Amino acid sequence: MTDAPIRLLLADDQELVRMGFRMVLDAQPDMTVVGEVGDGAAAVAHVLGRGAGTEGADVDVVLMDIRMPRLDGVEATRQIVASGAAAKVLVLTTFDLDEYVHAALKAGAGGFLLKDAGPAELLAAIRAVHSGDAVVAPSATRRLLERFLPGLPDELEPVRTAEERLAPLTEREREVLVAVGQGLSNQEIAGTLYMAEATVKTHIGRILAKLHLRDRVQMVVLAYDTGLVRPRT
């Protein structure tokens, strides 16, 4: 008995973009496109089973564009996550234009991928987010946040100081969090902090648990929010 394919919803206002994605995705034995929508409101309706002919439980991963009519990808992501739906969100962005990817990550997106990524990177990202892992290369996360974080609104920031948020961590865990925020891979962190890669993974797991974070992407966001890592000027 084989595992069920990953069920995908394509949310993008450009039909040609959706068509290109569908050609690649439907060719994979472990993936199937169950729907296409052209705006964020339709994406939310499909995931929640409110659209015509939709079933809320039929989506595993939403490929979510940022800029769409009626409802943008940030708010659509926030509504899907807030609903408690099982569907995970992979945000797609054109790096030079989309200043609100940071807000989308804070809204609950599992990660982001640049629209010019190759097919292999796209497929790997979908499989990663479906399994609950962060889907974005740490270096790409760093570059995007360094560019856009200083000017973004922070309406989701809890009323707590950085020290209060980081209080549960040991000094070593803080060092690992800084390294993740700087965009280092587990292998690079191991070399920099002189520890085994398995130990790095253990520290990351503890950080996620202690700070109630979903994934590595949220670790990067937190590292910037608390000032452990500063955007480059």
Looking at residue 42, its pLDDT comes to 94
Which residue matches tokens 């892992």? 133
Of 150, 172, 191, the last residue of a domain is 150
User: Are residues 143 and 163 located together in one domain of the fold?
Assistant: no
Looking at residue 52, its pLDDT comes to 47
Per-residue pLDDT of the chain (233 residues; tens, 9 = 90+): 457 899 999 999 999 999 999 999 999 999 999 999 999 999 999 999 865 444 555 899 999 998 898 899 989 999 999 898 889 999 887 755 556 666 777 788 887 787 887 888 888 888 888 877 665 655 566 666 666 555 554 544 444 688 888 999 999 999 999 998 887 878 889 999 999 989 999 999 999 999 988 777 778 888 888 888 876 54
Looking at residue 155, its pLDDT comes to 47
Looking at residue 142, its pLDDT comes to 61
**Token digits of residue 210:** 């202690």
Concatenate the DSSP letters of all residues of 126-171 into one string.
HHHHHTT---S-HHHHHHHHHHHGGGS--TT--S--HHHHHTTS-H
| CATH number of the domain within which 109 lies | 3.40.50.2300
| DSSP summary character for residue 172 | H
Domain presence at residue 172? yes
- Helix 197-211 with 216-225: angle, nearest 10 deg: 70
User: Are residues 44 and 112 located together in one domain of the fold?
Assistant: yes
Domain presence at residue 171? yes
Q: Which of 174, 219, 173 is nearest to 199 (CA)?
A: 173
Domain presence at residue 215? yes
Q: How far apart are CA 171 and CA 43, in angstroms?
A: 42
User: Are residues 54 and 112 located together in one domain of the fold?
Assistant: yes
Of 150, 174, 206, the last residue of a domain is 150
- The structure's pTM equals 0.69
Looking at residue 151, its pLDDT comes to 54
Q: In sequence order, what are the residues at sequence separation of 6 or more whose Cβ sits closer than 8 angstroms to the Cβ of residue 42?
A: 11, 51, 70
117 burial (CB, 10 Å; 0-12 / 13-18 / 19+) is middle
User: Are residues 199 and 107 located together in one domain of the fold?
Assistant: no
Domain presence at residue 233? no
Looking at residue 147, its pLDDT comes to 62
76-86: pLDDT as tens digits: 999 999 898 88
Concatenate the DSSP letters of all residues of 77-107 into one string.
HHHHHHTT-S-EEEEEE-TTT-TTHHHHHHH
Looking at residue 145, its pLDDT comes to 62
Looking at residue 231, its pLDDT comes to 65
* Greatest extent of the chain over all pairs of C-alpha atoms, in Å: 56
116 burial (CB, 10 Å; 0-12 / 13-18 / 19+) is exposed
Q: How many domains does the chain have?
A: 2
Domain of 197, in residue numbers: 159-225
